[in-house]
Amino acid sequence: MKIFVCVKQVPAVEKIKIDPKTNCLIRKGIPSMINPMDKNAIELAVQLKETHNAETIGLTMGPPQAEEVLRQALAMGIDEAYLLTDSKFAGADTLATSYTLSLAIKKILKQKKVEEDYLIICGNQAIDGETGQTGPELAEELGIPQITYVENFQLQGKKAIIERSFISEEVVVIETKLPLLLSVVRDLNDPKYPTMAGIVNAYHKEITHWNATDLSADKKKIGLPGSRIIVWNLFSPERKGELTLLEGTPEKISKELCDYLQKDKVL
């Protein structure tokens, strides 16, 4: 079995800074880190590698310095890593990103002669964009099933058993089979720190770099031209006004919220 883990480098700051001219994140001088939920994805992959004799593959799309998050994935126990990097990929929204990732996964599957016996694990969402779209769109590009908000995952032979809870406190149990894409949340597991040996090994491994040509990418579907989202304005919202936290069952919270909205004449 092959397990792909898609990871993302995100700014390691609580308050982001935005370039007012380009509406892009200012990354210069800002420390970066691996997206927290991606660590849960890596941890699951490493656990499955040990129990199911799987080969694990880390992937990211980003500038050359994004290699650092792949080193982190390798240090945590991922076997090999691919960096998709090209100035043509710049400005990609989730659609262009998932298209690019799908090309790399298809290429690796072909190289490794794998048809169905694979699993893709993503963090549910990244703390910078918080869209939660890249995983689902990647599954669509590949034409495979997807399960989001995964809190528990078991693999029994070819059968995958997934638990997710969403909005209500009820837990949904899903049974399916591979191939499959999971996007996982923090409750899934407790990612372990890399060992000192893992860190040493991570820097002895080669990371494969692929550009748009390597992936035979359709240039209309990558980077800014391939993006459907155009950012008009981006800002850190200022906290103002009073905060009221509603607690209780979803039904109770919905009713209270409607009451508030009616009182404020929004509804």
Partner 1 sequence: MDFQLSDMHKMVRRTTREFAEEYIAPVAAESDQKSRLDPEVMEEMKRMKFFGASIPQEYGGAGLDTLGFVIATEEIGRIDASWSITFAVPASVCSYPIYLFGTEEQKRKFLPALSSGEKLGAFVLTEANAGSDAQSVQLSATKDGDEYILNGSKIFATNGGIAKTLLAVTTTGTVGRRKELTMFIVDTDTPGYSVGVREKKLGVRASNTSELVFQDVRVPEENILGKRGDGFKLTLAILDYGRILMAAQIVGLGQACLEKSVKYANERVQFGRPIGSFQGIQYKIADMATEIEASRLLTYKAAHLCDIGQDYGLIGSMAKLYASEATMRAAHQAVQIHGAYGLTKSYDVERYFRDAKMAEIYEGTSEIQRMVIGSSMLRKYQ
Footprint on this chain of partner 1 (rule: CB under 8 A):
68, 71-72, 75, 192-197, 199-203
**Nearest distance from C-beta of residue 60 to partner 1, angstroms:** 16
Write 159-164 long-range contacts (CB < 8 A, 24+).
160/119
| SS3 (DSSP) at 77 | coil
Nearer to partner 1, 29 or 237 (CB): 29
Strands 2-6 and 55-61, by their bridges, are parallel
**Nearest distance from C-beta of residue 49 to partner 1, angstroms:** 17
Give the CA distances from residue 110 to residues 31, 104, 116, 189, 212, in Å, rounded to whole numbers and listed in that order.
36, 10, 11, 31, 17
C-alpha–C-alpha distance, residues 142 and 179, integer Å: 10
Nearer to partner 1, 135 or 194 (CB): 194
**Nearest distance from C-beta of residue 46 to partner 1, angstroms:** 13
Nearer to partner 1, 72 or 125 (CB): 72
**Nearest distance from C-beta of residue 104 to partner 1, angstroms:** 23
Nearer to partner 1, 18 or 33 (CB): 33
Using CA of residue 121, residue 125, residue 127, residue 131, what is the dihedral sign?
A: positive
**Nearest distance from C-beta of residue 183 to partner 1, angstroms:** 24
Nearer to partner 1, 34 or 217 (CB): 34
Give the CA distances from residue 187 to residues 59, 141, 179, in Å, rounded to whole numbers and listed in that order.
22, 27, 23
